[in-house]
Amino acid sequence: MKINTELPNNTKVTSQSKTRLKTESVNLYYGEFQALRDISLDIPERAITAIIGPSGCGKSSFLRLFNRMNDLITGARVEGKVELDGIPIYDSTIDVVELRKRVGMVFQKPNPFPMSVFENVAFGPRRHGRKNHVELEDIVEKSLRQAALWDEVEDKLEQSALALSGGQQQRLCIARVLAVEPEVILMDEPCSALDPIATLRIEDLMRSLSDNYTIVIVTHNMQQAARVSDMAAFLMMEEDRAGILVEYGPTTELFTNPKDKRTEDYITGRFG
């Protein structure tokens, strides 16, 4: 079944929207096991794209394609094209460190480093050669403001990041990503370990960040996908457990008028 991945009109994404990330006939293998099969879609810039689907269908594996985190798994190999701004990122000439600077990632559980709030945010810029302390102070403040955390931690910059609440830690991790000035932010179930209030703060933050960044989020929470995303892709497993793309389109259309009955069954809770 061929999936139409054109970008129909909606409030934020239009047919003229620039494609930031693209996959074309992508197959992902872990050794002999095929995790993803023949996935093609275009992800628009400055919008939020949600990846939804039942557990085990390859959502996180798909997300990790875009910053080559799957490279760290023994036996992983990718067939097909994965592009960032039209450049194939699995080409042998690609600098993976530079790629991961452009494509940052926020993980499921907050993972601040066991160091101060300041040093958490300054860590990336330091590794990329930014040594001037005044410059680092500016980067840290700007990143914490972008992550809607500055007002809560401006007097705690030298305290351990591990002393922050779970929601604050996750926003700190987002600030840490923002500090290296990425173009794309990948989020792998960033709210699954948070309470409802912290979750809503992260969702509000995602919406504001999408004015300047391309965001791709994996979520099991259908309400969250409906609330925050502009585009949504529904993945599911075939009998051999390979993940396939069932449907992709504007979130409002996918949730209110899905074209595939399997999408409707999943969204309405009939399976998954």
Q: Specify the pLDDT at position 272.
A: 58
Residue 14 placed within a domain? no
Number of domains making up the chain: 1
Dump pLDDT digits (tens) for 216-257.
999 999 999 999 999 999 999 999 999 999 999 999 999 999
Residue 259 placed within a domain? yes
Q: Specify the pLDDT at position 44.
A: 97
Mean pLDDT of the region 21-32: 98
Lowest mean pLDDT among 11-25, 67-81, 86-100, 114-128: 11-25
| Confidence check: pLDDT of 4 > 70 | no
Residue 272 placed within a domain? no
Residue 261 placed within a domain? yes
Q: Report how far apart, in Å, the C-alpha atoms of 253 and of each of 6, 15, 157, 232, 256 are.
A: 13, 15, 44, 9, 5
Percent of the chain with pLDDT over 70: 95
Q: Specify the pLDDT at position 8.
A: 42
Residue 108 placed within a domain? yes
Dump pLDDT digits (tens) for 136-153.
999 999 999 999 999 999
pTM of the model: 0.92
Confidence of residue 193 (pLDDT cuts 50, 70, 90): confident
Residue 10 placed within a domain? no
Residue 159 placed within a domain? yes
| Confidence check: pLDDT of 7 > 70 | no
| Confidence check: pLDDT of 58 > 80 | yes
Residue that is written with structure tokens 């351990």 in the block: 160
| Confidence check: pLDDT of 43 > 60 | yes
Convert 7-41 to b/e letters by CB count within 10 Å (16 or more is b): beebebbeeebebbbbbeebebbeeeebbbbbbbb
Q: Specify the pLDDT at position 9.
A: 42
Range of 172's domain?
19-267
| DSSP state letter for 220 | S
Q: What is the mean pLDDT of the chain?
A: 93
| Confidence check: pLDDT of 2 > 70 | no
Q: Any bridge partners for residue 29, and if so which?
A: 34, 77
Residue 134 placed within a domain? yes
| CATH code of residue 151 | 3.40.50.300
